[in-house]
Amino acid sequence: MPLVSVQQLLDEAAKGGYGVGAFNVNNMEQIQAVMEAARETQSPVIIQASSGARAHCQDRYLYHMMLAAAELYPEIPLVLHQDHGNSFETCKSAIELGFTSVMMDGSILPDGKTPSSFEQNVEVTRKVVELAHDKGVTVEGEIGVMGGVEAGHGAGGTGRVTDPGQAEEFVARTGVDSLAIAIGISHGAYKFKSKPDGSVLKMDVLIEIHKRLPDVHLVMHGTSNVPKDLQDVINQYGGKLNPTWGVPIEEIQLGIRNGVRKVNVDTDSCLAITGAIRKFFAEHPEKFDPRDYMKPARDAMKKVVALRMTQFGQAGHARDYVPIGIEKMKQRYAAGAFAAK
């Protein structure tokens, strides 16, 4: 099966009332971990790469590893998504490379940290939508500003919570297919200093946006749970993580009941890998073959990804439908199938 359209995955998730995890990768073992978890749980899946990941993989390695994944796991509907495209050029190069979905994060300027104006965001996102839809590629936009920094990208601090009225105007003026919103969650491992409650996690804003835009798929970013057991393994074997809390699974599930269809997860995978490698090094100081420690690292990431797939509800849905490629999506966009949002 070729890489498929994310629009179809998210439309199907909306019909079925579940969310689809979008897992960040930087190397072969992470791709293998996601694909094995998808096979084990029979899940459709989104694999995403940030600009930093693309640079790390020199683009071509990433693209060809993804083709290998599609070839080796033909039963899994698989999407390759550009995470946090910082400019029109970044999204254009992703589309040319073969990504089937792109995020244009116009909430910050191309420097990756300065918040943009609403008009600047509308202008660049609209331009990406025109190019992408012409090629059958789906576009995720972002309105409001996420806090924190991930792979060098992000405004830092606590960000700016999305205004529901602005979200509505943004979708109408840009034609985006899905929308990332800021509801008090930050990127990275250090999200909250205690278990988050309604004063920081603005689930009421999410619910209000879904009410106003029932047909737009919402995207939650920074949605790692940062579980204590994964933190503990790292600290037990020489790591020094400060105590931190992620997003409670029940809050993610509340989001999924209110229009969230794409759930981004990166930090949990990183924690699982690092803990497994630290443990292996501590227990086997005489070993030096990278395969010896990359295997438990891959297994640890697969375990947490499979758990998330079950918690988000995508498990068991891999064979629900016949996936379509972006050629067919191109025709649908040209026919105006998605113009009425």
Enumerate binding residues for Zn ion (CB under 5 A).
221
- Active-site residue flag, 83: yes
Residue from 83, 177, 266, 268 carrying the catalytic annotation? 83
At closest approach, how far in Å is the CB of 187 from Zn ion?
A: 5
Q: Closer CB to Zn ion, residue 231 or residue 267?
A: 267
At closest approach, how far in Å is the CB of 142 from Zn ion?
A: 8
Q: Is the Cβ–Cβ distance between 81 and 47 less than 8 Å?
A: yes
Q: Give 208's Cβ-side CA count (13 Å radius).
A: 15
**Cβ-Cβ contacts under 8 Å for 270 (sequence gap 6 or more):** 189
The Cα–Cα gap between 309 and 172 comes to 31
At closest approach, how far in Å is the CB of 268 from Zn ion?
A: 14
Q: Closer CB to Zn ion, residue 85 or residue 313?
A: 85
The Cα–Cα gap between 97 and 122 comes to 25
Q: Is the Cβ–Cβ distance between 46 and 5 less than 8 Å?
A: no
Residue nearest to Zn ion (CB): 221
Q: Closer CB to Zn ion, residue 41 or residue 90?
A: 90
The b-or-e profile of 109-140 (16+ CB within 10 A means b, else e) is bbebeeebeeeebbebbbbbbebbbebbbbbb
The Cα–Cα gap between 331 and 324 comes to 11
At closest approach, how far in Å is the CB of 24 from Zn ion?
A: 9
The Cα–Cα gap between 162 and 178 comes to 14
Q: Closer CB to Zn ion, residue 185 or residue 329?
A: 185
Would you name the residues annotated as active-site residues? 83
